[in-house]
Amino acid sequence: MITTLHHPSRDTVLYDGRCRFCRSQIALLRGLDLSGRLAFTSLHDPSVSREFPEIPLEELHRQMYVVDPRGQARGGAEAVRYLSRRLMMLWPLALFLHIPGTLPIWHQLYAFIARHRLKIAGSCEDGTCRLP
Partner 1 sequence: MWKSVFLATGIFACIAGVELLLIDSAVVLPVDGRGDPSVFTAPDWAPWSLISAGAVTILHFCALPVAGGKAPAGATLPESRYR
Residues that bind partner 1 (CB under 8 A): 81-82, 85, 94-100
Is the C-alpha dihedral spanning 87, 103, 111, 12 positive or negative?
positive
Kindly tell me which of 40 and 82 has the beta carbon lying closer to partner 1: 82
The nearest distance, CB 82 to partner 1, in angstroms, is 7
Orientation of helix 103-115 relative to helix 77-86, angle to 10°: 110
The nearest distance, CB 55 to partner 1, in angstroms, is 20
Do the beta carbons of residue 66 and residue 14 sit within 8 Å? yes
Do the beta carbons of residue 4 and residue 54 sit within 8 Å? yes
Kindly tell me which of 2 and 121 has the beta carbon lying closer to partner 1: 2
The nearest distance, CB 77 to partner 1, in angstroms, is 12
Kindly tell me which of 53 and 91 has the beta carbon lying closer to partner 1: 91
